[in-house]
Amino acid sequence: MPEGVFEDMKAYIAFSDEDAKNLASLAEPIGPLLPRVVDRFYRVLQAHPGARQVLTGGTTQVEALRRSLLTWLRGLFVGTYDADYCRERAQIGRTHVRVGLPQHYMFAAMEVLWESLQAAVDTLPIAHAQAKLASLHKLLTIEIGVMLETYRESQTAQIRQVEHDAVQARLREAEQLAQIGQLAASLAHEIKNPLAGISGAIQVIRANMKPADPHWPVLGEVLRQINRLDRSVKDLLVYARPKPPQY
């Protein structure tokens, strides 16, 4: 679960209450600069063929994504980093899977954001800027960890769904084939029994004829056609018979 990864990473890199206070203190001064960070992020993204492949919805999609990124950036400086925060941020990794963004671009994108945020903080006349940047870098490291975890979970779920759908499709196909086989067997039996009676009756009639009778060859041809039809029915029965499983 991403909440477990979130707490584990906070402990691993010693993300403290002091770090949370540092970030909260940046909210007001850095807020007006965040649209510039968004601008640079999308300039970089749209300049790269591999990264911009997810932008398939035109201007409308880009504007929606820009607003989402701006909201996400503002969320970095809320000052409270608990389970609710983690659950909200976890959507990013799932979104990347849904739009088909390759995982390695998440690292590249986070580096672009870090460079832009660092440059923005450097322009601010604030005290203890380096300590606050260190806190921001810690949080971005935690963020990428949560993204990777939710990306992995969502991709695994997606793969399982594809496999489940494939199995269901094979089962439906097998059921349809079984129904066809049952119909074929029923039809074959319905044809086979009358054929046997017709063949027997014609043989009796032909047995009472002389070879010189003009109807003799006609009945012989009828018998041949009945035998051909009987072989086809037998083939149909073989096709309809359930096959033993292959190991």
Please give the pLDDT value at position 18: 96
Q: Which residue has the tokens 């027997």?
A: 200
Please give the pLDDT value at position 247: 47
Instruction: State the helix-helix crossing angle for 129-207 and 17-30, rounded to 10 degrees.
Output: 90
DSSP 54: G
Q: Of 170, 188, 195, 173, whose CA–CA distance to 241 is shortest?
A: 188
Ranges of residues in the chain whose predicted pLDDT is under 70? 1, 51-57, 93-102, 184, 239-247
CATH classification number, 2-165, choose in 3.40.1710.10, 3.30.2320.80, 1.10.490.10, 1.10.10.350:
1.10.490.10
**Paired tokens of 6:** 């979130």
Please give the pLDDT value at position 183: 73
Please give the pLDDT value at position 100: 65
Please give the pLDDT value at position 75: 92
DSSP 6: H
